[in-house]
Every structure is written in structure tokens, then in C-alpha cells.
Structure 1
Amino acid sequence: MEPHFTSETTAEDVAAVFATEIVTKNVLITGTSINGLGFESARVIAKHANLVIITGYNEERLKLSQDALQKEFPSANIRHLILDLSSMASVRKAAAEVNAYAEPIHVLINNAAAPLGKFKITSDGLERQIAIDHVGLFLFTKLLVPKLLASATPAYTPRVVVVASNAHRAAPAIDFSTLFQPDEKTFDTINVYGQAKSANILAMGELARRAQGKLNAYALHPRVIYTNTVHHPEMLPVLQQAGVLDQNGNPTPLLQWRTIPQGAAPIVIAAFDPRLNDRSGAYLEDCQIATETIAPHTSDPARAETLWKMTEAIIEEEFTV
């Protein structure tokens, strides 16, 4: 019987169903702090996978995640990698480390994202949220393509997964004339978040098109999840002002909240469900394909190509598959 997943499905449920798909795979997951979606994804995948690589920009927190995973699964092969997506130099250093591994990478899960918050400029002169959520992700993926393609066989196509959001629907369309020209006067953290998530979806659609079957790319909405990021000192007041959290930092009924295990479920589906093999470029929501729900400004191939070329100019490298 074909498995049927719903909004109530957990990542553990999905990993159990696809254990035979996971068992020989090497998986890299960005953004894996404890009490987050990346950590939960790593946890359920580590039970079965050949290798799980977890990343983060903070050595101490990353070590806590690795220790927690090894404690639960002593025989699991867990490797950690320092990766600061806000810095292109850090991205290049981390990618070089991965490319020096003996093993290929079967699945790249781009989960890390910047917290909502104050206007900040990175060392590369980019607005922080766009730098982390799109540019750093784009560059990291580009640099790991050879490692991903090395895992391909006649029976297996490597995958790239990005955790996006249905917040892209509420945000205005990406203004390409200002996307990479930070301006504090016009900065709105919620709008920038939505546009960054639009960029995630556009980029995965374009990657799927350009890859021509060499690798598969997917984007997804994990639903509204109460993760560790919610209490980031910059993000908490933003969410409170929006009425999403109360004065004590607890969820309000304004949104329909899901658990971390439920939020990680579509990530594991996108990474391993064999029924997606011929659906590269798909967008998942509530653990189902929901590509038809993508906002028009985020599903336009012409806009996807424009974004791709502009990002190539920013990283000063062509991204070819």
C-alpha cells in the first residue's frame, strides 16, 4: 500500500517508511541546532543513514547537536561542519572541506535561515537575511554540485532540498532592482523574509530545469513551527508585535502551529520519497505536492532565470550543472 502522509505526520513516521531509501545515503543538513527542524531531520535520518553531516556557524552549539545525536544513536556516523552562510568566504571554506571528503553526497538539505530582526549588512555588503537565506545557500549548493553528482547511479538521482515558506505568498514580488542593494530606509524584515523564501522557490525551480534530470530539486513549506529560532532576541519582538507570540513568548491562536516533528516531516519526504523522482521542481506543503499553490511571482520561469543570473553576478561564479 502506498504511504499516505498528512499535516499530522511526523519526521519519524516518514523515516520509518523510507528506511530502505535512507540506509546507504550520505546526507548534509544545514542549520542543525537542538530544538530546530534541521536537528530533528538529522535525528530521524541518522538512525538509518550511512553518514549525516550537520552544520552550524557556532562551534559550541554544533557540538551539542552532535553529542545529542551520538548519545541517541551511538553507532551513527555523524560529522560536523562549521558553515556561516552570511559569509561567502566561510561558504567556500566549508564547501572545500566537504569536497575533500572521500564520500559523495546523496542529499543536500538547505534548512538554515536567518532570524527576523534588525537591518544588518554582511562582510560581503549584502543584507543579512538575503545573504543567508538565498545567496549563501545558492553558493553552497553550487559548490557542492560535483559532490552530489558523484552519488548518481542509473538507479539513483541526487537531491537538493530547500526549506522555504508559504510566507512568499504574502510578501511582494522580488524587486530585482533593489534585491542586492541594501537600504535601511525601506527595510522590512517580514517582507524581506517572504522575498527570500520566494528566491528559494524560484532557485529550486530553475535548478531543476537546468539540471535536466542530473539531480532533483525541491522546495517545501514546513508549516508554522515553534522552534529555537522563535526566541532569538531579535526575532521574538518581531513576532510579538505581529501578534504571533504573546508577551510571554508563547504561541497565539493567530496561526496554526505544528510540532517540530511534524515540521520536519516534509523535509524527510522531499529528501527520500521515491514518488518524487519524476517531480523535480515540486513544492511541498502539508506533506503533499502543492506546486500549484505557489504565488505567480514565485513560479514565473523568466523571473527565476533573472534571479539566477543576478545571483551568479553576486557570487562571481557561473552555476552550471
Structure 2
Amino acid sequence: MRTNIFARLDRELEPPKIEIPRMSRTRKALLGGTLAFYLAIVVAVLSSSWLVTLDWKVMLFRPYQQWPGLHAFLDYFVVLGQRGPTAVMIAAWLGWRSWRQHTVRPLLALGTALLLLNITVGAVKIGLGRLGPHYATQIGSAELFAGGDIFPSGHTANAVVTWGILAYLASTPRARRYLSITSSMVALGVGATTVYLGTHWLSDVLLGWAAGLLILLALPWCEPMIGRMERAILAVRDSVLDRLRARRSLAAQAPVAAGGPRPVPVRPGHAEDDDTPREPIGAGHPGRAGAGRSPSQLTQPRPHAVRSERTPAAPAGSRRPPRSRPVTGG
């Protein structure tokens, strides 16, 4: 059974009123506190302070050797912080919400947050160039500017942004509260897992949490740009749907019956090209071709008949001449 997309769109309910987060005083205070914590972590690592000493103590403790039974489970759990799988899962859910609510704001908010994440975290990673615990060369060193790319932790920051965007886009206070708790637990678990596996220093994880939280807290400043992009996309969509509806209405006004007569193409140079009645050749004077025809008709070229319509020059049958005398057997 065919689904009429236009009827479906006409029957859809009006989208609910979605509350867009604003930069309130509380959010600005949280943003300032998180930014101060972010800068403090960077300064502590640059100065090789007590935080770097703590990094080495945790690394030399080797948690993956202390609790080897958790290794198999945590290898799969840490995937919740990888950008590719999590972005696909969250985008699928937000795409369904966009279809139900007749808006593309959830997908645009996710794309904006991931873009900011790649720019900010990637720039700090490349700029500081810190090596990971498995590649450390000198005990007690911060391992900075050595060509690495693990500070801050991308897994941790990505877990904060991709799962936290669900709480950011929640439509009710109750859903926002539950989703905030769930996303926080996932982000904390992913960061702790990277320390357990030995792929990140503890300070990497702390800075990853702060980096992801900064993006979520600053996202309301991007809402005007997201709104303009949404209006432009919806305008293009409406234009395309209007064209499809117009074509559909034209097709409905002039339906073609199945199995009905179809026009037969006429080849030039045949008798069907001219509707003017013609007199047979030699009409009015037997034995004389063209008698009784006007001069204009005489100058017109004669139509060529199809081979199957031509009169055979010889009578049908065998073309072998008859025998002059019977053949006698002997």
C-alpha cells in the first residue's frame, strides 16, 4: 500500500512549543567557574605541579593490572565516548525528533556542538602536544610539546557533549533532570575508563570534562545562528514540497487511462502525412497517368508506399517459366 506523504504532512499535529535555553545568570556563573577550572588545569600541567605528580602515581599504579576482570567490559564501555558511534546514535534519535516536531533545530544544535568540540579540543591537543602514559619518556615530566595529542581527553569531552546534548534539548524539566544525571554518569564513566586502560593521564580527563561542559554551557549563544539556519532550511523544504504538490495536481487533472488509445507516430513521406483526398492516378482518362489532376498536384512528390503495401510486379507464385513441353520419362 502506497503512503501519501502529503496526506501524512497534512495530518501531522502542530509541533509542540520548544523552550530554547537562554544565557541566564546561573548559566553564566557556571560558565565562568568551568572556564576558571579549565585554565587552572592547563596552568598546573604547564608548570609540572602536584597534578603532574599525581598523574604519574596513577599511571604507575596501573589500574588495569589491579582489576583485570573489568578489562573486557570496559573495552566496550569506552566506545560510548568515541565520536563516530555516539554521533550516529544521537543523530538518529534527534532525526526522529526533528521529523515528529517539524523542526531541524535538534540536528543543527548537535552539529554546532560537535563543530565547536572539534575546533576547541583539537586546537589545544595540537598546540600542547602531550604524550600519553604509554609513550612517556621521563618520569615526573609533563610530556608536553612532544608531538602527542591526548591533552585534553577527546573521549571524555565527546561523551560530555554528545550525551549532554540530549539534556540540553529536553522539552520538559523532568526529562532534562533525568537526562542530565544519565549523561553525567556516562561522561564520568568514560573518563575513568580511559585512566583505567592507561590511555590518558588523570589531568587529561579533568580537562576533557571541563572542555565538554564549556561547549554545552556556551551553546545558547549559538541559538540565533541556529534559528537562522533552520528558517533557511525549512524555506527550501517548503519550496520543494510546493513544487511536488503542483506536479501532483497537474497529473491528477489530466489522467491517462491505462490501455487507452495512444497516438501513432507517422513517418514522413508516407500516405498518412497528408489528409487531402487524392484522385487515383489516371482518373478521368484511362491509360494516361496524371490525367484529371491539377498542376499543383502534379508537381507534388508521390508518396512512397511501404514494401508490404506495393503491388507485386509479377503474379504471386513460382517465378520459374512454364515448360514448353512435358518431360517424358524414360
* TM-score past 0.5 threshold: no
Q: What is the TM-score normalised by the length of structure 2?
A: 0.21
Q: What is the TM-score normalised by the length of structure 1?
A: 0.22
- Structure with bigger helix share is 2
